[in-house]
Structure 1
């Protein structure tokens, strides 16, 4: 699927033609530079590599700087490959804007990294209800996981069992959002609903 790289700005609301209020997420999408075009003959698959948001050259290795120089652009912070592009007429260094890929009313998928919640217990992480009330001497068990079900056979804990641990900070995709508004002069796009991650984090927007 074709798409662009953006950065989540925040959420606001809009009104439709019938006066109904709905939530939208504002995403900044600077012009994405084509830094590499991969083909079946040379790479074994077809894809277009895009880069966005400037990065200081002092923080980039010489090899990476050379990669960007081939495309005639300055070093970029984020690089991502997209499949499904029509590569006819596309060349290194071309800039792709919001209106080149998306239109108001079209459906998109947004991929991002969810907010990190740190080390959490089973109640917050998996929605467990806890062991129960503070009765029969269980005054400190309300948010505990309870038995994990194993005994002398198999004498181990099965992999994947739901227990306490690090929560969030995972790659997630929100499907079938709608482009509500495009502001090309501000490099902004508004999509219905929410998208993963905190404000300021990079996201990938895919055309369905």
Structure 2
């Protein structure tokens, strides 16, 4: 699989192998994706490949995107993703990529947005210890001192404090493909992937150069 694909997370479950051992797995609905653009510069050894995922009604697009798809004579897509790869010789615009390009037993990398936790405090976000809970203590979940007073007289950048938690780009590498169902464009992988059910994910393997 020298190309990347877009898909959505269906959910998690477990399956049992021949020895009766439970394996935690995640179900992913991948593709089909269509190659919408191939950009190759002469001085570069790689090419930029853009893929489209999930058809969309042209009425829901602005004129710029609508003209972009009409010029290339391809359907309109809701999501576009670009990546770099050295294996682009056999690719062309309009080619449809499906889960048939995967192999059972191979390993893939999955990128997605983690679940957002909202505005979180110090204990939840950074695993800080709380203050004494005895009577009279006024420091139960407060941050405490965040820096010196006169010198340096400021708070250094990167200080661990309360703030928004989660909703970050996370990559899980080397997830094994357990099963592939080409009729429903579904694959089952061992382990978990970031994000909630229905989140958009991007998958690729180590053959793609992420430059």
Whether TM exceeds 0.5 here: the answer is yes
Q: Hey, what's the Cα distance between the residues in 2 that align with 1:43 and 1:106?
A: 29
Equivalence for 1:109: 109
Task: State the Cα deviation string for residues 107-135 of structure 1 (Å, max 9, x = none).
Answer: 1110001111111101111111222x223
Question: Following TM superposition, where does structure 1 have runs of at least 4 consecutive aligned residues deviating by more than 6 angstroms?
Answer: none
| Conserved 8 A contact 2:45-2:86 | no
TM-score by length of 2: 0.90
Equivalence for 1:68: 69
| Conserved 8 A contact 1:130-1:146 | no
Paired residue total = 205
Q: Hey, what's the Cα distance between the residues in 1 that align with 2:78 and 2:124?
A: 34
- Could you tell me how far 1:175 is from its partner in structure 2? 1.1
Equivalence for 2:169: 171
| Conserved 8 A contact 2:99-2:187 | yes
Q: Compared with structure 1, are the counterparts of its residues 44 and 57 closer, same or farther at alpha carbon in structure 2 (3 Å cutoff)? A: farther
Equivalence for 1:99: 100
- Could you tell me how far 1:44 is from its partner in structure 2? 8.9
- Could you tell me how far 1:159 is from its partner in structure 2? 0.6
Q: Hey, what's the Cα distance between the residues in 1 that align with 2:142 and 2:59?
A: 49
Give the gaps of 5 or more residues in structure 1: none
Q: Compared with structure 1, are the counterparts of its residues 50 and 43 closer, same or farther at alpha carbon in structure 2 (3 Å cutoff)? A: farther
Instruction: Tell which deviates more after alignment, 149-158 or 195-204.
Output: 149-158
Mapping of 1:1-208 within 5 angstroms? 2-41=3-42, 46-84=47-85, 86-100=87-101, 102-131=102-131, 133-135=132-134, 137-139=136-138, 141-208=139-206
Q: Hey, what's the Cα distance between the residues in 1 that align with 2:71 and 2:186?
A: 28
Q: Hey, what's the Cα distance between the residues in 1 that align with 2:96 and 2:86?
A: 14
Task: State the Cα deviation string for residues 144-203 of structure 1 (Å, max 9, x = none).
Answer: 222213221111111111000011111111111111111100110111111111111100
Q: Hey, what's the Cα distance between the residues in 1 that align with 2:70 and 2:126?
A: 47
Instruction: Tell which deviates more after alignment, 23-32 or 144-153.
Output: 144-153
Q: Secondary structure at the match of 1:186?
A: coil
| Conserved 8 A contact 2:46-2:86 | no
Q: Hey, what's the Cα distance between the residues in 1 that align with 2:97 and 2:193?
A: 22
- Could you tell me how far 1:42 is from its partner in structure 2? 9.0
- Could you tell me how far 1:73 is from its partner in structure 2? 2.5
Q: Hey, what's the Cα distance between the residues in 2 that align with 1:85 and 1:45?
A: 5
